[in-house]
Amino acid sequence: MFNFPTPYEIGIMLPAVVIGLTFHEYAHAWAADKLGDPTARYMGRLTINPISHVDPIGLLMLFFAGFGWAKPVPVTPYRLTGSMRRSLMLVSIAGPATNMIIAITASLLFGLAATFNSVPLIEIMKNIITINVVLAVFNLLPVPPLDGSKILAGILPGEQRWLDYMEQYGTIILLLLLFTGILSPILWTIISPILSLMNDIVYFSNSIFLY
């Protein structure tokens, strides 16, 4: 079911969505490049320019359907140094980890933003925190093509042939889970305590900047 946001809602969500998606994909590109694979750099993805990372259709779907996507960062596994599985796992971790760093940073700076007494700015900061936590948790799901599947494959011993098999059907499985609503209670069971922790950081930030 599509929800049509108001122009104001789009305005206060857009910065958070663009920041979250852009830095998530940039982190993948940066990690891959540091681990020996220059593919993303050669394709112009080692940048924080949103145009290089944001998929227009995926962005619209985020606003109107509640889920979306960015342009996947190309990774050539055999170019990665050291253990291919370990390096691919580190590249995959980089995206969600960066989203969590952004959420924590925004929480720490929340009090500073509140000193401007701007309701839209405060709403943008809230969205930066929430959207980045959601992106981090969602991408850690062990379902291809999400980062969590490659992270799990890197942690478990032995060959993970299930990953190759699920790659063929992962997107379909993910869409079914999203449209049936099965994922929502699972995700929010994880997201809620993390957002509670972010609120504690926000309270600490407010105590520094507002008092």
Residues catalogued as catalytic: 25
Q: Which residues pair with 54 in a beta bridge?
A: 70
Closest CA to 103 of 200, 205, 207, 198: 198
Contacts of 34 (CB under 8 A, 6+ apart): none
CB atoms within 10 A of CB 83: 11
Terminal CA-CA length for the chain: 44
C-alpha dihedral sign at 36, 40, 43, 49: negative
Helices (H), 35-182: 39-42, 56-65, 84-114, 119-139, 147-155, 161-180
CA–CA distances in Å: residue 75 to residues 2, 85, 164: 33, 13, 16
Q: Classify residue 211 by its DSSP letter.
A: -
How long, in residues, is the chain?
Answer: 211
Separation CA 57–CA 17 (nearest Å): 13
